[in-house]
A = this chain, B = another copy of it.
């Protein structure tokens, strides 16, 4: 049997046309589309292992998948070769070999998400697929203050959609920062693990803070309640971007940040 190598791909995509990241039979998914491209290139039937299973409509600059191959394509050439087989709403940004036992969901990692709000009177057509439009005046300073109460280790049950299969709802958020640039408010959240819809519920809650319906300090009570009904609405998917995925332990950080 030929020796197999495990290849890591850094993946950027526009999620607008997809039923989400995770493979589903009979649906248009990011994983399914990458599997097909690898099969076209190498002739090998492949099921990639994805790092973050983003929802339908969510975008990414730096999601990660790995797969095993016996092909002779150099690891660093996969990204260009696969791009020629992929639709242009998915691009492989980088490719390199990793140890055969590396699994992107079973190791320490740090994820950076950005949630973007377009704060204008009327929506702008060319931005509709990449922002949540909000016509209320939003105070980004209040939103930033509120985000600080989310930082650290907490039980985030109030920020978890029903249907979660997580064994514990305790997660650690490293930082929540909210900043305005003209009409755009960006919520940047960094952490090592997130519950189902967690970043979108954080964004929906911070929007309520920004328009004055929730006081920043009330976020402390919302967290302590461990009750989804106390937090704000789930923000729509199109404002969410998985910006960066880092593996701080060892070899991959060096490669993936080059």
**Does A21 interact with chain B (Cβ within 8 Å)?**
no
Q: How far is the CB of A17 from chain B (nearest CB, A)?
A: 10
Contact indicator A91/B14 (Cβ below 8 Å) = no
Contact across chains for B125 and A90 when beta carbons are under 8 A apart: yes
Q: Mark A117-157, 1 if CB is under 8 A from B, else 0.
A: 00000111110111000000000000000000000000000
Chain B residues in 8 Å Cβ range of A90: 125
Note all chain B residues with C-beta closer than 8 A to A59: 125-126
Residue from the set A83, A122, A124, A126 with the largest chain B CB neighbour count within 10 Å: A126
Interface of chain A, main secondary structure: mixed
Candidates B83, B91, B125; contact of A88 at CB < 8 Å: B125
A129, B128: Cα distance in complex, Å: 12
Question: A13: CB under 8 A from chain B?
Answer: yes
Chain B residue at smallest Cβ distance from A87: B125
Chain B neighbourhood of A125, CB < 8 A: 12-14, 59, 88-91
| A23 beta carbon closer than 8 Å to chain B | no
Q: When chains A and B are docked, how far (Å) is the Cα of A13 from the Cα of B13?
A: 23
> Does A61 lie at the interface of the complex (its beta carbon under 8 Å from any beta carbon of B)?
yes
The interface residues of chain B lying within 8 Å CB-to-CB of A61 are: 124
Interface of A toward B, CB cutoff 8 Å:
12-14, 59, 61, 83, 88-91, 93, 122-126, 128-130, 241
Closest 5 CB pairs of A and B: A14-B125, A14-B126, A89-B125, A59-B126, A13-B125
Q: Could you pull out 20 A-B pairs where Cβ atoms are within 8 angstroms? A: A12-B122, A12-B124, A12-B125, A12-B126, A13-B125, A13-B126, A14-B126, A14-B128, A59-B126, A83-B122, A88-B125, A88-B128, A89-B128, A90-B125, A91-B122, A91-B123, A91-B125, A93-B122, A126-B129, A126-B241
